A = this chain, B = another copy of it.
C-alpha cells in the first residue's frame, strides 16, 4: 500500500487551489470546468479527483483557507499595544487584497454565489460570523484599554466594519476610479471618527 506524504499532499492541494482561484476569478464558478482547473494546475482529472471530489469541495477549501488566515491574523493582532491602530492595520491589509485583481474578483464571485448556492452561502456566512466575532472581540478589548469609544456596541460596530469591508470590494466591481491603496487616508479618517471621535 502506498503511503501518503503529508507535506507533498498539502503542496499538491495548494497547487490545485491556486489554479482554481485563477480560473474562478477569470470565469466564475459556473463558467469554470474541472478540466480547466486541471489544465491550469498541470494535473490529470483523475489526480485532481483524488484531492477534491467536486468543484464544490475546491470552493469550500478556498473559503476554509481564508477563514484560517483571518483567524491567525486576529490572534497576532491582539498582541498589539494599540488595538485601534492594529485594527487600522487590518483594514490596510483589506485594501491590499482589494487591490489584487485575482483576490477581488474571487471575493465578488464568492459573494454572488453565496446568494444562490446554499452550501457556499453557509460557508461564507460562517466565515463572516467568525470575522465579526473577531472584530467584536477587538472592540471589547479596546474598550477596556480606552482605545475605542465605549459608546460603540461591539457587535454593532463589528457589523458595520464588515459592511465597510464588503463595500471596499463593491467599489472594485463598479468604480474604476477607486484605487484601494490610495484610499487608506480616507478610510482611516472614517474609522477614526466613527470609533474614536474624541481620540
A residues neighboring B (CB under 8 Å):
27-28, 30-31, 105, 108-109, 111-112, 114-116, 121, 124-125, 128-129, 132, 153, 156-157, 159-160, 162-171, 173-178, 183, 186-187, 189-190, 193-194, 197
CB contact between A111 and one of B116, B121, B174, B193 (< 8 Å): that residue: B174
Instruction: State the main secondary structure of chain A at its contact with B.
Output: helix
Cα of A98 to Cα of B133 in the assembled complex, Å:
23
In this complex, the member of A128, A166, A177 whose beta carbon has the largest number of chain B beta carbons within 10 angstroms is A166
Shortest Cβ distance from A166 into chain B, in angstroms? 3
Cα of A14 to Cα of B78 in the assembled complex, Å:
54
Cα of A176 to Cα of B124 in the assembled complex, Å:
11
Nearest residue in B to A198 (C-beta to C-beta)?
B197
Say yes or no: B125 contacts A174, CB within 8 Å: yes
Please judge, given known A-B contacts A160-B190, A168-B163, whether A173 and B115 are in contact too, CB under 8 Å.
Answer: yes
Nearest residue in B to A189 (C-beta to C-beta)?
B194
Cα of A124 to Cα of B170 in the assembled complex, Å:
12
Shortest Cβ distance from A5 into chain B, in angstroms? 37
Say yes or no: B114 contacts A112, CB within 8 Å: no
Which residues from chain B contact A132 at a C-beta distance below 8 Å?
175
Say yes or no: B193 contacts A124, CB within 8 Å: no
Please judge, given known A-B contacts A160-B187, A171-B159, whether A108 and B111 are in contact too, CB under 8 Å.
Answer: yes
Which residues from chain B contact A163 at a C-beta distance below 8 Å?
164, 167-168, 170-171, 178
Cα of A132 to Cα of B177 in the assembled complex, Å:
11
Which residues from chain B contact A170 at a C-beta distance below 8 Å?
111, 163, 165-167, 169-170
Say yes or no: A174 contacts B112, CB within 8 Å: no
Say yes or no: B167 contacts A128, CB within 8 Å: no
Which residues from chain B contact A125 at a C-beta distance below 8 Å?
174-176
